[in-house]
Amino acid sequence: MSKVFEEIESRAGEIAKYRRHRNGRGFVAQTATVDPTTYIEPTAYIEPGANLAGHCWIGAGSWIDRGANLAAGVFVGANVHVGADTTVGVGAEIGSHTRIGAKATIGAGARIARDSTIPNGAVVAGPRTLVSDEEPSGGPRSSGPRSGKPQSGGARSSKPQSGKPQSGGPRKSDMGRAA
What are the Cα distances from residue 40, in Å, to 9, 20, 23, 60, 144?
20, 9, 6, 8, 41
127/88: higher pLDDT: 88
pLDDT reading at 172 higher than 50? no
The mean per-residue pLDDT over the stretch 82-99 comes to 97
pLDDT reading at 51 higher than 80? yes
- Rounded to the nearest integer, the mean pLDDT of the chain is 78
Q: In what order do the strands lie in the sheet with 93-94?
A: 39-40, 57-58, 75-76, 93-94, 111-112, 129-130, 136-137
In this prediction, residue 11 has a pLDDT band, given cuts at 50, 70 and 90, of confident
115/8: higher pLDDT: 115
Instruction: Note the pLDDT of residue 42.
Output: 95
d(CA 71, CA 22): 19
DSSP per-residue string spanning 28-57: EETT-EE-TT-EE-TT-EE-TT-EE-TT-E
d(CA 85, CA 30): 17
- Domain boundaries in the chain? 1-133
Instruction: Note the pLDDT of residue 129.
Output: 58
Distance of CA 6 to the CA centre of its chain: 27
Could you tell me the maximum CA-CA distance found in the chain, to the nearest angstrom?
85
pTM above the 0.75 mark? no
Arch. (CATH architecture) of 1-133: 3 Solenoid (2.160)
Lowest-confidence pick of 56-65, 88-97, 169-178 = 169-178
Strands 15-20 and 27-29: antiparallel
Instruction: Note the pLDDT of residue 150.
Output: 35
Measured from the Cβ of residue 76, the count of other Cβ atoms closer than 10 Å reads 29
The mean per-residue pLDDT over the stretch 94-111 comes to 96
